[in-house]
Every structure is written in C-alpha cells, then in structure tokens.
Amino acid sequence: MIGRLPRIGDLLKRRKKTAEDGSIVVDAARKATGGKARTRIVMTMAVFFTIYSTIAGRLVYLGLQNPDLSDGPQSRVTASRPDIVDRNGEVLATDIKTASLFAEPRRIVDADEAIEKLSTVLPEIDYEQTYRKLKSGAGFVWLQRQLTPKQQADIMALGVPGLGFRTEKRRFYPSGETSSYVVGLTNIDNQGISGMEKYIDEQGLSDLQASGLAIAKDLKPVRLSIDLRVQHVVRDEIAAGLERYRAMGAGAVVLNIKTGEVMAMASVPDFDPNNPYNAQDKDRLNRMSAGLYEMGSTFKSFTSAMALDSGKATMNSRFDASHPIRVGHQAIHDFHGKNRVLSLPEVFLYSSNIGSAREAELVGIEGHREFLHRLGILDRMQTELPEVARPTEPKVWKQVNSFTIAFGHGVSTTPLQAAVGCAALMQGFLIQPTFLVRSEEEAMAVAKRVVSDKTVEGMRYLYTLNAEKGSARNARAPGYRVGGKTGTAEKVINGRYSKDLNFNTFVAAFPMDDPQFLVFTIADAPHPEKPGMTDVAANNAGVIAGNIIRRSAAMLGVKPDFSHENGATLVSYQ
C-alpha cells in the first residue's frame, strides 16, 4: 500500500504546479480585467474630452461672432453729428458716446429672473413690456437706450446671459436751457427733430448718416450767429421777468441791424435739452418765432413809417384826434387821449390810436396792406429755424380793418418778424434774419430796400423822442443812446379780447445816432409787479429790454458814450 501512495515530493511538485497554474490563471484574469478597465477609462475620458472640447469650441465661436442683430437697427456708431458752436466757438451741442442695453430673447434662459435682476439697476423698467420682449423669441430687442456708465457697469455685474450693450452716440448740450429753442433737439437715434439740429439734417446730414459716411472727424462744426454770453443774459432776464411779473410767458431777441444776424433769442418757459421730458408741454413754445400775436402799439412804428414813406405826410403833418372815430357800430378811442389835433411825432409819442388810424386813412387800404407785406410782416419769414409760424390777416381788408391794424389789432405775426420789420426802419433795408454767421457784405447782397433814407431819419428821431419823453423811458441804458416803442395789446383768448390780460411788447434800438442792434421783448399776460402799478408794456417788457441792453451792450462791442444824457441829439424838423 505504501508503494501505491504518491510520494511527498511528487505531491509537493503537483501542488507547486497547481499553484503556479492558478497563479497563471489569476494573473491572466487580472491582466484581462485590467485591460478592460483601462479601455473603459480611456473611452470615458475621450467622451468627456469630446464634450468639453465641443462646449469650448462653441464658446470660442460665439465669442468671436457678432450677436444676431438681424431684427435690430443698424449700428449708429458712425452716425455722428457735427458740433454746434456759437459765433465765438463755444460749444452748444456735441456728440458723446453712450451704451444702450439690448437682449437676445432666444438666449434668455429665465425671463422672470432676468427682469428681476434688471429691476435692481433699472427700477423704472416696464415689467410686462420687457417680459413680452424677452419671451418673443426674436433675435434682437432694445431694452433701454442711453444708459449711464454706472448703469452699464451694474448690469454687467448681474451676469445675465443674453444681454448685451451697443455703443451709440447721443447729443449733449453744455448750455442746457440757455439756448434750447435755437439749438433744438435730437431724438433717441441722434436725428435732429427741432431747431438748428433739424436744419442741419435737412442740409444733407441725414443722407450722410444713412449712407454711413457721417464720420466725426470729417464733420466741421456748425457756427451759429448766437453769442452765448448775450444769450445767457437774454435768457436770464426773461426768466426773471416771468417770475417777477407772474406772466404766462416771456421772450426776447437781439438782432444785428446791419447783418440780420440773431445774436440771441430765447423764450420761457423752456426745457432742458439734456432731459427734455417736458419739451412737448403746451406752454413750451418758442414764442419768438412760432407764436402768433397781435402786437399792439409796436405796430405804430410801421404806421408812422408808412405815412412818412408814402410822401403824403411829414413830421409837420397834423391829425385830428379830438374825438373817437366811428365805423358802423365800432368806435376807436385813445387810451390816454389828448382830445386835440396831434402832430405826427405827437401821434407816436402819445401812442394815439385815433392818430394812427388817421395815418392809415391817409395812405389808403391797398397802400397799407402793400407796405406791411413789403416789410415782410404778413408773409412767412425765411430763415434757417424750422419753427416759424405763418402770419394771419383779413381775407378782405375793409376800412375798419385798416384802422385797427394801424394800432396793432386785427393781424397776427411773430415777434421775430416784427423785430425784423423794425430793424428795416432803422436802416432802410429788409434783411431776412439768419442764425448763421453772416458779414455785412453778404447781408447787403440779399437785402431789399423798403423805405427811403428820409423815412429812416424820421423813425430814428421818433424812437429817440419816445425814449426821452415817452413810454420808452424805462428801457434807457446810460451811455448807450436807446430809442424805442411800447406795445400793450389786449390778449386774444378763444377768439375774444380779454379785459384782464395783455400781450405786451417792446422794441428798442441802439445806439440811436447809428443803430447797430435791436432788442424786441415780449411779456405774455403779465401782472403788475407791485400794488398800484399797471401791467402796461413800459412796466414789464420795457424793463426787460433795458436790463438786456445794460448787461449786453459792451459784449456786443458798443462803446458807451455819456456825452448825451440818453442818446443822439434830436433832429430838428421844420
């Protein structure tokens, strides 16, 4: 039996072999298992690498691409506007860069969350409207135009996907309200919509913008005739007058008689063009060029000039103002009648309605109408400013119309046109006003002779006389030899004359020995400054004119002359 038993050595060899075979199997299994794991790891890594590579590639692509703006307007980065400067180069309007916020609704993940975050920076945002925009699925929508730098930075910090900014140009007006009606406004797309801004567009700028050729460096500044220093004085004085006289409105223009240049023009109430939220309010009207009014006794300047220029009257002519003129059921009275025969200078000095009607009667209806049209008083004024109203007159002039028009009732015109007409009486030539710089030579090339030198001499005399002895005394400025005429008219309200409110005007020229400048002021529905005072033009429009002359004459280059108490020596007429 012992012989049948395997030997221990053999058993040990077999165990060893078995163990070795098992190890080989285990090692093989281990090798097989390890290979498969590595393959899975490699494959998994490859999948993730592919995914992240795709995401990274897409992000790079999107970063290099412009957003889908097919639904949005073309870039306004090149839609520049030229600077507007005053006659001395002071900037009145210029372009500045600003950021505007847009959204790509297709890339907005959560519209509610986006709006909630935006409202923390833009609390005024319209929730419903913005929600509709963000859910529209469009490629491009504007959310807010012309942000401040802080707003842009705060919105960027929100980190909302699908929002972006575009650089645009917007207009900035350093002088604010001071020259708002003259310079005008642009809309959200930097296009001129009023004032000289609109005029510039009409001269071809809008075509350049549309073609993308409005490059800032190629646009020369537009130089206006306005003197910003004088403009500031005018605006300051009429604003003070508006408050002092509790008026509905006030305005003034300073005109260069020799060139027709508007040196300054303002109307209040006005607006800030940098924040024109109230620019469309009913009381925001450029009363000087876009308002139509009956001018009252200021019109007597034209009536007396007409009588003199017709050759039918002289300074020695006399007119019966001893009793009212009756035409049908109407009667023409004097406000402070002298109840006697008046000379032509006395008709002007005492502002006689009856005497002015007699002057018109002397010339005749057709001659009267022709004279006012000759001075451009009843035609639409030709100038650069778009806001110009068309005067009104009766379709058929009857005798009563001529009588009332003689003292400023029955026709309506703009204060600027009345000023231009009065300027023509100071030099003999009608020169249409301009808001651009113009030389005397250029002005005379377009000037039109309207009255004789003899008439000019007579009107200068009457203006000077009225400043020394009449209603223009409140406008006198020591050293500057001022002359002028007042106008107090009952204000027309709903087609009827008011017994309680006036529309007051004042025209002043200086220096009267050779008038260089003319100031025309208005006070719309003023009230007496103090108890016991009246609301006639001498007490408001006249005072405003005098203040403007005193403060601005030196800026206009007029040297004071104190050799005469008020002005030029009165011409003696025989």
Angle in degrees, 0-180, between the axes of helices 111-121 and 149-158, rounded to the nearest 10 = 150
Decide: 494 and 481 in contact? Cβ < 8 Å.
Answer: no
Residue 457: name the closest of 422, 418, 425, 419 by CA.
Answer: 425
- The pLDDT value recorded for residue 176 is 95
Residues 255 and 157 in one domain: no
Pair of tokens at residue 164: 């972006």
Q: Give the DSSP per-residue string, 301-332.
A: HHHHHHHHHTTS--TT-EEE-SS-EEETTEEE
Decide: 96 and 110 in contact? Cβ < 8 Å.
Answer: no
Q: Residue 458 above 60 pLDDT?
A: yes
Decide: 263 and 473 in contact? Cβ < 8 Å.
Answer: no
pLDDT tens per residue across span 347-364: 999 999 999 999 999 999
CA distances from 386 to 153, 196, 201, 345 (A): 39, 8, 11, 39
- The pTM is what? 0.81
Pair of tokens at residue 523: 């006070």
- The pLDDT value recorded for residue 77 is 45
User: Which residues neighbour 442 within 8 Å (Cβ) at sequence distance 6 or greater?
Assistant: 259
Residues 400 and 547 in one domain: yes
Residues 396 and 291 in one domain: yes
Of the pLDDT bands very low, low, confident and very high (cuts 50, 70, 90), residue 156 is: very high
User: Which residue out of 100, 225, 289, 297 is catalytically annotated?
Assistant: 297
CATH of the domain at 556: 3.40.710.10
Of the pLDDT bands very low, low, confident and very high (cuts 50, 70, 90), residue 40 is: confident
- The pLDDT value recorded for residue 344 is 97
**407 located within any domain:** yes
**40 located within any domain:** no
CATH of the domain at 104: 3.90.1310.10
Residues 380 and 289 in one domain: yes
pLDDT tens per residue across span 230-260: 999 999 999 999 999 999 999 999 999 999 9
Biggest CA-to-CA distance, the chain? 181
d(CA 137, CA 135): 6
Which H or E run includes 51? helix 8-64
Q: What's the whole-number mean pLDDT along residues 418-425?
A: 98
Q: Facing residues of 504 across strands?
A: 488, 523
Decide: 204 and 82 in contact? Cβ < 8 Å.
Answer: no
How many other CB atoms are found less than 10 A from the CB of residue 316?
A: 10
**371 located within any domain:** yes
The position carrying tokens 């004459």 is 553
Of the pLDDT bands very low, low, confident and very high (cuts 50, 70, 90), residue 75 is: very low
According to DSSP H, which parts of 126-273 are helical?
Answer: 127-134, 149-158, 180-183, 195-200, 206-211, 228-244
**312 located within any domain:** yes
Domain boundary among 162, 188, 223: 223
Residues 176 and 304 in one domain: no
Residue 254: name the closest of 236, 269, 240, 271 by CA.
Answer: 236
- The pLDDT value recorded for residue 138 is 86
- The pLDDT value recorded for residue 31 is 53
Structural domain harbouring 205: 84-223
Pair of tokens at residue 177: 């309200």
Domain boundary among 223, 258, 276: 223
Residues 447 and 471 in one domain: yes
Pair of tokens at residue 53: 């590579």
**21 located within any domain:** no
CA distances from 527 to 130, 245, 248, 295 (A): 49, 5, 10, 18
Q: Residue 443 above 60 pLDDT?
A: yes
- Range with lowest mean pLDDT among 21-25, 153-157, 350-354: 21-25
Residues 193 and 243 in one domain: no
Instruction: State the chain's mean pLDDT as an integer.
Output: 87
**167 located within any domain:** yes
Q: Facing residues of 430 across strands?
A: 448
The string over 332-343, giving b where at least 16 C-beta atoms fall within 10 Å of a residue's C-beta and e elsewhere, is: bebeebeeeebb
Based on its alpha-carbon atoms, the radius of gyration of the chain, rounded to whole angstroms, reads: 41
Angle in degrees, 0-180, between the axes of helices 399-406 and 353-363, rounded to the nearest 10 = 130
- Tell me the one-letter amino acid at 369: R
Q: Residue 573 above 50 pLDDT?
A: no
d(CA 83, CA 89): 10
Q: Which class for 495: exposed (0-12), middle (13-18), buried (19 or more C-beta within 10 A)?
A: exposed
The string over 345-355, giving b where at least 16 C-beta atoms fall within 10 Å of a residue's C-beta and e elsewhere, is: bbbbbbbbbbb
Q: Judge whether 297 counts as a catalytic residue.
A: yes
Q: Facing residues of 94 across strands?
A: 172
Of the pLDDT bands very low, low, confident and very high (cuts 50, 70, 90), residue 391 is: very high
CA distances from 95 to 168, 182, 190, 570 (A): 10, 18, 9, 52
Express as a percent the part of the chain with pLDDT over 90.
68
Pair of tokens at residue 459: 């009107």
Total domains, the chain: 2
Express as a percent the part of the chain with pLDDT over 70.
84
**123 located within any domain:** yes
d(CA 233, CA 519): 12
Residues 165 and 240 in one domain: no
Q: Facing residues of 327 across strands?
A: 330
| More reliable by pLDDT, 45 or 264 | 264
Q: Residue 271 above 80 pLDDT?
A: yes
Residues 177 and 293 in one domain: no
- The CA-to-CA distance between both ends of the chain, in Å, stands at 181
Residues 427 and 563 in one domain: yes
Residues 544 and 470 in one domain: yes
d(CA 190, CA 220): 17
d(CA 500, CA 458): 35
Of the pLDDT bands very low, low, confident and very high (cuts 50, 70, 90), residue 109 is: confident
Residues 529 and 500 in one domain: yes
- The pLDDT value recorded for residue 4 is 43
Residue 291: name the closest of 391, 193, 423 by CA.
Answer: 391
Pair of tokens at residue 214: 């409005």
Give the helix, strand, coil percentages of the chain, each rounded to 5.
Answer: 40, 20, 40
Q: Residue 50 above 90 pLDDT?
A: no
**426 located within any domain:** yes
Domain boundary among 186, 201, 223: 223
Decide: 545 and 506 in contact? Cβ < 8 Å.
Answer: yes
Residue 99: name the closest of 156, 39, 147, 34 by CA.
Answer: 147
Residue 143: name the closest of 163, 121, 170 by CA.
Answer: 163
Residue 173: name the closest of 270, 263, 249 by CA.
Answer: 270
User: Which residues neighbour 193 within 8 Å (Cβ) at sequence distance 6 or greater?
Assistant: 184, 185, 186, 187
Q: What's the whole-number mean pLDDT along residues 20-35?
A: 53
